[in-house]
Copies of this chain bind each other. A is one copy, B any other.
Amino acid sequence: MRHIKLTIAYDGAGYSGWQIQPNATTIQELIQKAVREMTGEKINVVGSGRTDAGVHALGQVASFRTEKTIPLEGFRKGINNLLPKDIRILNAEEVEDGFHPIRNSKRKNYRYIITSDEFAHPLEVGRVWAIGRELDIDAMNKACEYLVGEHDFSSFRAADAHESDAIRKIFIVNFKRENKCYIFDISGSGFLKNMVRNIVGTLYDVGIGKISPDKFKDILEAKDRKKAGVCAPASGLYLISVEY
């Protein structure tokens, strides 16, 4: 039995997220359908984690097991031929049978892009959060420092989150300015449902001066979703890579 690991990029705008669900077109479903069509096997494609509807990926990871001897490049090109153009398999490689895309992931890297423009540029529609104002990047970066390390992120998990515990470790997190954009990068051991978007929404409150960096720390420590800010729109979020 071969075990194939895929690295996948997608524009999430047209899809109901990664995870297979009834009555909605999802990325996992389209890839699984393509692999099943190529192999004739009833294969399950398992991803490194869900991305929400509208969230993009530059390096999502998924894997599947097959008995077929199709070469790796054959898989990559063949699956791509069966997918819409806004989902692409960038790489296919063979991994040991024990590999698990979720359990073996050591680090995930996300990016969130906010533009200070009042609207997304036509070529960035669905790919940024347009806020129409400036943010205090120093205050936001001060708040970011409180996120580094191991914490209980209950304050930033989705109301309907299903994860068994909310402890996650953040390695690197910061905002940088590029032209009209505030670019938020966060790397961590893993992320709860909506965690990045809830953090960004609350850091936005810091950036507009609604709350102080210290108040942000209080929110984190409260372990209470009701204390945090809004969930930032999916459109600005990118899963950059998953490291193993």
- The segment from A39-47, A84-92, A154-162, A223-231 that touches chain B is A84-92
- The segment from A121-129, A138-146, A167-175, A194-202 that touches chain B is A121-129
User: Which of B11, B58, B88, B122 sits near A87, CB closer than 8 Å?
Assistant: B122
Find the B residue at minimum CB distance from A57.
Answer: B122
Copies of this chain in the oligomer: 2
Number of interface residues of A (CB under 8 A): 17
**Inside 8 A of A10's CB, which chain B residues have their CB?**
122
Proximity bits, A71-104, B CB within 8 Å = 1, else 0: 0000000001000011110000000000000000
Flag whether A244 is at the interface (Cβ < 8 A): no
A91 to B31, CA, bound (A): 43
B-contacting residues of A (Cβ < 8 Å)? 9-11, 56, 58, 80, 85-88, 119-123, 125, 127
